[in-house]
Amino acid sequence: MNNEHNPIAQRINYLQSFWMQQRLLKPKARFIRWLVDEPDVPLVNGFYKLESSPYGKIEETLVVMFTDFESETSFSYALAKDWLAVYKTESEKHPELQWVDYQSLDRDFELLDPENNVLANLFLVELLTKFKAYEGKSAPLYIGVNPRKITDHAALCSWICTLIEQLPENIGFVVTDYKKNNFFESVFTNEEAFFEKQTIRLKNQDIQGAYTKLMTQGNPNDPQVAFRKCMVKMGEAASKNNQDNLIKWGEKGLHITKQTTDLPFWASAHLIYAGYLFGFKDTERITNLLDKGIQIGKKQPEDKALLGVTLQLYSYKAAYYSFINKKEEGLEWFIKQATLARENEESIVAITAYKNAFLLAEQSSMISEVKDTIPIAFKYGYAIEDSLLKITEFAYIAFHYVKLLREEKETPDLKEELKTIDTRMTLLFGDTWETQFASLRKQIKNKELAS
């Protein structure tokens, strides 16, 4: 789609222009934060992505990192590790990249003690300084600190202040902050942080309006365009608590998608329609929609796209039963989802489904109902490679498995198994992996169990 008519692209272009205007006010700022409404975060991420590509417009160089922030003492090491790994991957794709310092930095990093945060800080400063020299531009380099997970915002603010003081003046950090939270405000109020700081406050970008406009653009006779209009209308009806209008547009959406030969499209229409009805607790209509969607999924079980929709239908059915306090049925459907995912080698979906089942069982005092399933889920997940397992919530499954083992009579073999599990889980999820389930329960409290 041409950017001239793409409302999302138009807004990202606005962010580029707004950045350039605001930067003129504080050109020497070492720390910059976007202060935005939470729905506008995807636009800022789009800005980062665009500016990290050959199509960027701003003078400065942005390199955005997504390294998890576990603690102030471990972040420099983790960030340096990710930086070197990303460069290695990019250099393999683009052999013309020739950063002469990379090999020596990589060797030095291998000798670095991850427990020595002072040396890790010094190494990261050296790495960024040498990268800046390699980049060769006079304009500043800003590192986008955009962790996927942040355990402690105050500690991250402290780390930022410490590092900036050690970096050369042409290197700084940029972050994204929420107006309602001001997570990074302590960087600005830190009386010992003498570097210049800047807040770029973004007015509300009406992202929902942009999505609506984008979704309804195109040929109205195109089934995809016509169904997107139905989705918008269903959303509007749901927000106004107008069930009759929601049903009208939901049925129209089913009719549109049925006329196509696209089974995933047709099944998705059932999923989306049912989802909008959740708030009305129209149980008969919702379960019929989900069951019909599942039946469509059985027509071509080898179709991966259709399988993805079918797995979501299982999840929605489990979530809805949980939502209306039919906990046993909800538990049954989460386990059915996990089983279907396993049969089709969808490992991340399987882990998530098992996790949801155990959460529901624990919250509903039904953990005994899944006692036989816990070892199955654990052994399945434990066989998954580290790089994939790390991005799941497998720690919660492991917690329940370890809890079962500890109920058994201790033997040397059992003791060794527990030690082996703890070592691997600590490597993947950190020292607190056994207690992470508590925060997980807190996150989903009062929310439906869906993923």
CA distances for 341 relative to 26, 290, 317, 327, 391, angstroms: 52, 17, 15, 21, 17
Q: Which residues pair with 143 in a beta bridge?
A: 63, 173
Mean pLDDT of the 256-268 span: 96
Work out the burial of residue 376: count CB atoms within 10 Å of its CB; fewer than 13 is exposed, 13-18 middle, 19 or more buried: middle
| Rounded Cα–Cα distance for residues 394 and 349 (Å) | 11
Would you say 237 and 246 are in contact if contact means Cβ atoms under 8 Å apart? yes
| Rounded Cα–Cα distance for residues 37 and 207 (Å) | 10
| Rounded Cα–Cα distance for residues 191 and 113 (Å) | 31
What pLDDT score was predicted for residue 437?
67
| Rounded Cα–Cα distance for residues 204 and 141 (Å) | 27
- Asked whether the predicted pLDDT for residue 373 surpasses 90, the reply is yes
What pLDDT score was predicted for residue 209?
73
Run of H or E residues at 142: strand 141-145
Could you give phi then psi for residue 155, rounded to 5 degrees? -65, -35
How confident is the model over 165-179, as pLDDT tens digits? 999 999 999 999 999
Share of the chain above pLDDT 90, in %: 81
Mean pLDDT of the 410-430 span: 93
| Rounded Cα–Cα distance for residues 387 and 97 (Å) | 26
Domain boundaries 3-207, CATH class? alpha beta
Nearest Cα to Cα of residue 196 among 178, 172, 167: 172
Mean pLDDT of the 269-281 span: 95
How confident is the model over 317-361, as pLDDT tens digits? 999 999 999 999 999 999 999 999 999 999 999 999 999 999 999
| Rounded Cα–Cα distance for residues 377 and 422 (Å) | 17
- List CB contacts of 154: < 8 A, sequence separation 6 or more: 186
Mean pLDDT of the 404-416 span: 92
Mean pLDDT of the 274-287 span: 95
Mean pLDDT of the 41-59 span: 91
| Rounded Cα–Cα distance for residues 16 and 29 (Å) | 17
What pLDDT score was predicted for residue 356?
95
What pLDDT score was predicted for residue 51?
94
How confident is the model over 149-208, as pLDDT tens digits? 999 999 999 999 999 999 999 999 999 999 999 999 999 999 999 999 999 999 988 777
DSSP 8-class letter at 69: B
How confident is the model over 78-131, as pLDDT tens digits? 999 999 999 999 999 888 888 999 999 999 999 999 999 999 999 999 999 999
Q: In what order do the strands lie in the sheet with 61-65?
A: 61-65, 141-145, 171-178, 31-36, 197-201
- Asked whether the predicted pLDDT for residue 438 surpasses 80, the reply is no
Confidence of residue 374 (pLDDT cuts 50, 70, 90): very high
- Asked whether the predicted pLDDT for residue 315 surpasses 70, the reply is yes
Chain region(s) in the chain for CATH 3.40.50: 3-207
Mean pLDDT of the 62-81 span: 96
- Asked whether the predicted pLDDT for residue 3 surpasses 80, the reply is no
- Asked whether the predicted pLDDT for residue 448 surpasses 60, the reply is no
Would you say 306 and 267 are in contact if contact means Cβ atoms under 8 Å apart? yes
Give SS3 for 326.
coil
How does the average pLDDT of the chain come out, rounded? Answer: 92
Would you say 67 and 149 are in contact if contact means Cβ atoms under 8 Å apart? no
| Rounded Cα–Cα distance for residues 427 and 421 (Å) | 10
What pLDDT score was predicted for residue 444?
53
Mean pLDDT of the 401-419 span: 93
As a dihedral over the C-alpha atoms of residue 320, residue 322, residue 328, residue 330, rounded to 10 degrees, the angle is: 50
| Rounded Cα–Cα distance for residues 330 and 321 (Å) | 5
Q: Which residues pair with 35 in a beta bridge?
A: 177, 201
